[in-house]
Structure formats: structure tokens, C-alpha cells
Amino acid sequence: MHKHSFQHSMTPRPGTQDALLIQVLDGLLAQYLDKVPDANRVVSLITDRGDRIQNDHIAFRSIDITSILTIFLGLGYSVHMNPDTKKPFNFDKKKLTAVWLKHPNPDAPRVFVSQFRFDDGSPELQTIVQRYLGNWQDPIADVDMTSAQSITGYLQTAHWPTPTYADYCALQQESEYVAWVLVNKYYLNHFTLSVHGLASFNFETELNRVISDYHISYTRHQSDTILDDAAAMMARKYYKNFEEFNHYLQDANFTMNQVGASVINRSPDGLLLQSSTKAALIRVLFDEGYRDIPGSYVEFAYRGVTNDAIRRVIRSGGSMAMVTDDMRRDGFETQNADKIFESTYVGMDSHETDHQTQSSYEASCTALLAFFDNYYR
């Protein structure tokens, strides 16, 4: 067994399918750890420090998003969308539609699933894709949803032919995402380490000092402005903590996915911080012979405490010890995820083209909402 498994980090709830979910996650994780050397290095570094591995989320790229949704909805997950639009997330330039899933077991990782909108691709892209998916019949209906082996077999088996290297390169010029999926299939795209809970980095000491100082000030002056200032100071500390962690990774010779001048992606509210390694190259057999292409990567996430929750903690004179997971920033941020997608980019800052077409985003939303209505009917 690998150093980390979900049997170590998840406690199944009686009378649920949690035990099956753990088997599925461990099956996916085992292959991921075998295929992604950086992931094994991360697990070893963190566990050797005495920390427990916590998985913030796992992510899949897909040809048909509903197939992966069928699996994880069946395992007890519920769907979450963009809280502002109440629709699936739209990655306009990358022509992607995405949702994320959450499980009632707080130990279970979130799941992020995306899909390329093929109708938005150029005629050239559609012609190439048709060669490999034109006769594809998705075997999702044949999956035994009570069998971890059947579920992981579906996600880890090639359902369409591997493209030629020439076609792979042609696709990559327009959509690195499509090129990646056609070769890597539904393999786990990335695993995300939850950073804020790593005790060995002693992040909470500085955060508790902030809480204590502002509690004293608030007790004296009873001003909401003090609480607002405290929330802003905490956000700065979260960034400092995460920056320290990323320096640790870089000192350990991890190649990080660079985002402008920084490796850190920060949400507008400052409460969700993400970074990722650059995907290592894997050797794949094409018709033209073996070629090295990007595989999967490792992501890191730091979820700060929500402003309302930190105000409550300060008023009560508490500490970080009273912070529970549901008091932390939840969900995903499109602008963060947009750059995380580029962890598999090689050689160029962007593979997005200026091909213009009427976006099929609204059509993809309609189709997904119809799928959910039918699933729950």
C-alpha cells in the first residue's frame, strides 16, 4: 500500500456508500501515485515531517462530463456551480464548462470536473477529434456502480484510440486540454494537497497572535472597523503562510507552474490560494514511436477562514483551535483554476487560439441542467 490512502484519511459513516467511495478513491490514487513521481515526493516530504495528508480535491478532464458526474453522484456527491451565476463555471478562452462536487462526509475530497465544448472548436479540431471519437460509444451504462473495480476500470481504461503524434500536436496548438484528454483518457488529472492544516509548518502560531491582538483591541473599543482590519490582516497572513510553503517546495526542487511573477493564484477575496507543480513529461507510444508529453501534476490549496467566522472568533476571544472546516472558504475560483489548467502546458504560455465562433456555453449549461433534472427525477 502506498504511504497515503483514503483508508487513512476518511472515516466511513455507517449505513452509507462511504466504504465503496474509499475503495474507488484509493484505486484512482494508486494509479496516480504510480504515474506522477512528484506526487510520491510530496507525500513523502509531508508525512516525513509528521503531517497527515489531507486532500482538498481531485480533478478530471473529460470528453463527456456527464459520465464522470454519473459516477460521483452515485457515490453520494452533490453538485455545486458558480455561486454568482447559479450556472456551471465558464472558462471562455479555453472553451471549457465545469462544475464541482461535494460529499456529505467531511473527510471526502471535493471533485472538480470539466469538459471541452467541441462545438466551439475550429473545423480543423473537430475533424481530428472525429477520427477518434466518431464511432465512440460511451460504456458508462455498463459500469457496475456497486463495484470499485468496475468504476476505476472505466476511469482508467482507454475507450478510444490514441491519436497519432501529428494529430496530438495539431490539437495542442488549439486546445492543450483536448490533446491531453485524448491521450491521457480519464486518468486523474491532479490531486490537491490541503496546506492550511499542515501542523509542522506552525502556521497557526502567527494567526493566533493576530486573533489575540485584535481581540484585546476589540474588547477595548468595541469597533466593527477593528474586526474588518483583523480580517484583512488574516488574509495577508494566509498569503504569507502559503508563500512560505511554496518556497519550501521550490527549495525541494519542485518545478512550479508560474503565474506571471508568482506561482500563487489568489482569489479576489484573498481566502483561496492555489499553486501547482508543472506536469512532468511521460513517455507515450504513438504510431510514430515513443514521445514525451505532459502527464498529471500536483496541486496545493490553502483555504482561509471566512471573514464572518474570524470576526466571531475574535469577539469570543477564541483561537484557531475553534476553527472547523465549514468555517473556511469553500468552492472554487474561475481565475485561479484557469491558470492551474496550464500546469500541463509545455513550451508556450498559452495554447488558446483566436478562432472565433459563437460560444456553446449556454447550450452546455442547458444540457447539464437537463442531465441533473433527469438524474434526480
How does pLDDT run across 133-188, given as a tens digit for each residue? 999 999 999 999 999 999 999 999 888 999 999 999 999 999 999 999 999 989 88
Query: Does the structure show a pLDDT above 80 at 105?
Result: yes
* pLDDT of 187: 87
Query: Does the structure show a pLDDT above 50 at 1?
Result: no
Phi-psi region of 179 (alpha: psi -120 to 50; beta: other; left: phi over 0): alpha
Kindly indicate the confidence band of residue 349, based on its pLDDT and cuts at 50, 70 and 90. Answer: very low
By the 8 A CB rule, do 294 and 316 touch?
A: no
* pLDDT of 356: 53
How does pLDDT run across 244-260, given as a tens digit for each residue? 999 999 999 999 998 78
Kindly indicate the confidence band of residue 358, based on its pLDDT and cuts at 50, 70 and 90. Answer: low
CA distance 144 to 130: 28
* pLDDT of 77: 98
Query: Does the structure show a pLDDT above 70 at 299?
Result: yes
User: What is the reported pTM?
Assistant: 0.94
How does pLDDT run across 308-345, given as a tens digit for each residue? 999 999 999 999 999 999 999 999 999 999 999 999 98
Query: Does the structure show a pLDDT above 70 at 115?
Result: yes
* pLDDT of 46: 96
Which of 347, 354, 326, 350 shows the shortest CA–CA distance to 339?
A: 350
- The CA-to-CA distance between both ends of the chain, in Å, stands at 40
How does pLDDT run across 27-58, given as a tens digit for each residue? 999 999 999 999 999 999 999 999 999 999 99
Domains and CATH numbers, the chain: 14-198+246-295+332-371 (3.10.180.50)
Query: Does the structure show a pLDDT above 50 at 350?
Result: no
How does pLDDT run across 198-246, given as a tens digit for each residue? 999 999 999 999 999 999 999 999 999 999 999 999 999 999 999 999 9
* pLDDT of 353: 53
Query: Does the structure show a pLDDT above 80 at 113?
Result: yes
